[in-house]
Chains A and B, each alone.
Chain A
Amino acid sequence: MKIPVFRVLVGFILGLAASLAYGWLIQPVEYVDTAPASLRIDYRTDYVIMVAEAYAGDEDLQLAEVRLAALGPMAVTDIVAEAMTYAMEHQFVPADVENLNRLSVDLRTLAPTPEIGSP
C-alpha cells in the first residue's frame, strides 16, 4: 500500500491547527495558583514598594528579606534595584523611591545570601 505524502501533510496541518485552536480558543490557558515571582513588572515593583513601606514602619529587616524572597531566586538587593529602576523610569513619587533606597541600603548590611539556582 502506498501512502500519499500529500495526504499525510494535509492531516499534519489539520492536526496542528486543531490542537492550536483547542489550546488558544476553546480551552485557553488560565493563570491560576501562580506565585509572586510571576507577577508583571509593575505589580512586582508595587510589591517591593509595599515591603519598603512596611519596613519603614516596623524596621524589621529580616521580615523584609523574607517577603522579598517570595519574588524569586534573585538576590534581594537585585530585586530592590530592579524595582528602583522601574520606579525611577516611570516617575514614581519621591517617597516611594526614598523608601526603596533606604531598604536597598539597609539590605546591603546583611550577610549576602547565595542565589538559589534553577533545578
Chain B
Amino acid sequence: MSRSTVIGTALGLLLGIALGLFIAWELDPLEYVDTAPASLRSDFKADLVSLIAAAYAGNGDLERAKARLALLPDMNTSGYLAALAQQRLAQDFPETETRALAQLASALGEGPAPASTSMTLPPPVTLSAAQPITPPSPTTFVTEIPPELALPNATPTPLSTETPEPSFGLISRVMICDPSLTDPLVQVQVHDSDGQPVPGLEILVIWDAGQDHFFTGLKPEIGPGYGDYTLARNVTYTFQLAGSDELVTGLMVESCIDEDSPPYLGSWLLTFKQPPPP
C-alpha cells in the first residue's frame, strides 16, 4: 500500500469522525425524550415516590400505588418510604407529604411487600421488672387510665387510609426499663377503636426551650401505629397528639436499675386509643 493511499484513508477517517461528532454534538444533539421513570435522577425519583404517596393519600388506592412504585426498582419498599419520610420530616418538607409517605409505608408494610434492610431500627420494646431509682412513687410506672375517664366528649371517627380526626385519648403511660435501648425514648402507639394501629398521626413535642414533632408509621417494622422520639437528659417534656386537647405532661428521663447491671436510662411508652363508637 502506497504512502498516498494510507494518508488518503486516514484523512477520510478523520473527516468521517469529525462529521459524526459535529452531527452528534452540534447539528442534532441528543435529546432525552420518551424516558421511563426508572431513568430519572435520584432526587426526581424521590419526588416521584413522594407524589405517589400523596396520590395514595388522595385516592386510597393501594394497588394503584403499588403499580406506580413498581416502576421504580429499589425504591418501592416500606422501609425506603419510611426512611424518605424521616428524611423529609427533618428537611421541613410539607407535612402532608411526610404523613402521606408514612401512611403508604405502613400500608405496604402490612402486606406481603418485602421488608427493607436499609434502616437501623430499635428492637421492639419489652417491659422488664426493673425498678426506677427516682422518684420511687408508684405513679412513675404504669398509670392505667380508664377509657371512660380518658376520653371525655370524644367523637368517634370512621377510619380509612386518610388521617382520622384527633379524637384519641391516652390509655396508658408506662415507664420502660429495657437495657437494649441505647437512647432514652418516648415510644408512642396509637390504635383505633378496633385496636388497629393508626399510621400518619402527628405527635407534638414541647419543652421549655422549644418544640418538635414526629409521626406514627415511620418505622413500620416495629408497627404501623408506632413512633418514637429521643429524649434529652434534664428536660421535662409535654407530648400531644396533633389537634387533640389532651396533654401528656412531665415526661423526663429517669434511671432504671437492674440487679445484674449498672443503672441505665429508661424510656416511656404512651398508648393512645380512639374511643369506641356510641
Q: Which residues of A contact B (CB under 8 A)?
A: 1-20, 23, 29, 31-36, 38-41, 43, 46-47, 49-51, 53-58, 60, 63, 67, 70, 95
Query: Which residue of B is nearest A35, CB measured?
Result: B44
Interface residues on B, range: 35 or more
Give A54 to B100 CA distance when docked, in angstroms.
10
Give A47 to B55 CA distance when docked, in angstroms.
10
Q: Are A70 and B57 in contact (CB under 8 A)?
A: no
* Known contacts A11-B16, A14-B9: A56-B58 contact under CB 8 Å: yes
Any A CB within 8 A of the CB of B183: no
Give A41 to B34 CA distance when docked, in angstroms.
7
Q: Are A12 and B13 in contact (CB under 8 A)?
A: yes
Q: Are A35 and B51 in contact (CB under 8 A)?
A: no
7 sample A-B contacts, Cβ–Cβ < 8 Å, listed by A number? A12-B16, A29-B30, A33-B40, A34-B39, A39-B40, A47-B48, A50-B68
Any A CB within 8 A of the CB of B143: no
Q: Which residues of B contact A (CB under 8 A)?
A: 3-5, 7-17, 19-21, 24, 30-37, 39-42, 44, 47-48, 51-52, 54-55, 57-59, 68, 71, 94, 96, 100, 162
* Known contacts A47-B48, A58-B57: A38-B34 contact under CB 8 Å: yes
Out of B4, B14, B42, B51, which one reaches A15, CB within 8 Å? B14
10 other contacts beyond A36-B40, A38-B33, with CB at 8 A cut-off?
Answer: A11-B14, A15-B15, A32-B39, A38-B31, A38-B32, A39-B37, A50-B52, A53-B54, A53-B58, A58-B96
